[in-house]
Amino acid sequence: MNVAAAPTDTAAPTADTVRAQDFPAYAATLFADPVTRRALLALHAFADEVAAVRDHVTQPLPGEIRLQWWVDALTGEGHGGVEGHPVAAELKRAISAFDLPVDDFTRIIEAWRADLYGEPMPDLTAVEAFLTDTSSTLIGLAARVCSPGAEAPADLIRHAGLALGLVRLIGQLPRDASRGRLYLPRDLLALNGVTAEEILAGQTPSGLRAILAYLAGEAEQHLAAVAAPDALRPALLPLALVRRTLKQLHGVEYDPHRLEPPSRLAVLWTTWRAGRSGKF
């Protein structure tokens, strides 16, 4: 597909949001037909908005109010009218057009609602539960858009979401730490003699690399279980950058606090190759 000729007119309200906030997800939508692409962009724009709520508040209550607005907008209750909110309007359009389950969207919202309170992740099970509710649920919704009426294998969706989620967790460590947030399992911190305070202060204790290497290994196992059927490929293409990032994590000079994101050209090239081959 010629990415320069990708349709943008009808998807413009959410295309700009996703392109700015999550360029790999935006690049993945370029390989879908116009109708599918518009719905996928709405899904990703929604995911970006609810995930960013905590970044815009200093206390849980204002975040609760913002997230409850989304619940009301999607369920048609309370004061959640979507007039004047292009992302919400596009999302409701996609839900109607593809008969998407509202419960899946509220599952994502509730996961981010719990995150407002900054409770530490006690172990990998808790991390995976959070990523399943957010990353895997979003991929499952995208799969429904790409293949209406067909049920994507639950294991495929779960593995895809965990592979993507774990790598993003590692890659976003510097940003999260600068904002006082930490998603690393506390039991792994203790096992490797690392404190949350060290990481939040931007330090790189020797045990931190061991923790991230372990999480990267978990991500590799999940990625190995993902095979992309042609119909679902646009839903899974955000995984195109996962293996590239994992290779970067194994580099000798890798600094977890200075992980360089790929250029947009590299994102487009990597996504194009994965789109052609179906291999991640």
pLDDT in tens, the chain (280 residues): 344 334 444 566 799 999 999 999 999 999 999 999 999 999 999 999 999 999 999 899 999 999 999 999 998 866 556 667 899 999 999 999 999 999 999 999 999 999 999 899 999 999 999 999 999 999 999 999 999 988 889 999 999 999 999 999 998 998 899 888 999 999 999 999 999 999 999 898 989 989 999 999 999 999 999 987 788 889 999 998 998 888 877 765 667 877 778 889 999 999 998 888 777 7
DSSP 151: -
| Contact by Cβ (8 Å): 42, 10 | no
Question: Do 280 and 236 form a contact (C-beta atoms < 8 A)?
Answer: yes
In whole angstroms, what is the distance from residue 79 CA to residue 168 CA? 33
Residue 218: which of 128, 126, 108 has the closest Cα?
Answer: 128
Q: Is residue 151 left, alpha or beta, with left meaning phi > 0 and alpha meaning psi from -120 to 50?
A: beta
Enumerate residues 6+ apart whose C-beta is below 8 A from 249: 170, 212, 213, 216, 259
Cα–Cα distance for residue pair 140/146, rounded to 1 Å: 10
User: What DSSP character marks residue 255?
Assistant: -
Cβ pair 124, 103 in contact under 8 A: no
- Dig out the tokens for 28 from the structure: 């993945």
Domains and CATH numbers, the chain: 11-100 (no CATH), 120-261 (1.10.600.10)
The Cα 142–Cα 15 span in angstroms is: 15
Strand extents, DSSP E, the chain: none
Specify burial of residue 96 (Cβ count, 10 A radius: 0-12, 13-18, 19+): exposed
- Determine the Cα–Cα distance for residues 245 and 263; give it in Å rounded to an integer: 12
Nearest to 139 by CA among 53, 50, 232: 232
